Amino acid sequence: MARARATDPQTSHDAAESVKNVTQIQYWVYKSLLGARTDEELVEVYRKWKHAPRASDSGIRSRRAELVSMGLVEPTGIHGQTKYGRKATVWQAVLGKEVLAK
């Protein structure tokens, strides 16, 4: 886990403290992808969880990308549409893999 130095400004300490939530955010992103969704839909579902840690839209998408790299999320092979009518990948959690928040 990242740590700030004692001489660092408060913003650095705040940022270092937020790093501990990365695995929890990944957990809630995974849980949000138990149904197939585009990134836009993922963000909408994530925001509905009452106990999920706060995260920016780009942070949620980044955690999804990390889960893809870990083999816990995969593209469905079908495409959805963004609110602007562009083609978007539809993602889903890989079932049968246990994901636990730390």
- Residue-wise pLDDT for 6-22, tens only, equals 787 886 566 555 444 45
CA dihedral 14, 16, 68, 58 (to 10 degrees): 30
What are the φ and ψ backbone dihedral angles of 95, each rounded to 5 degrees? -75, 155
- According to DSSP, the β-strands at 87-93 and 73-81 are antiparallel
- Residue-wise pLDDT for 45-101, tens only, equals 999 999 999 999 999 999 999 999 988 999 999 999 999 999 999 999 998 766 655
What domains can be seen in the chain, in order of their start residue? 11-93 (1.10.10.10)
What are the φ and ψ backbone dihedral angles of 75, each rounded to 5 degrees? -70, 145
pTM for the full predicted model: 0.75
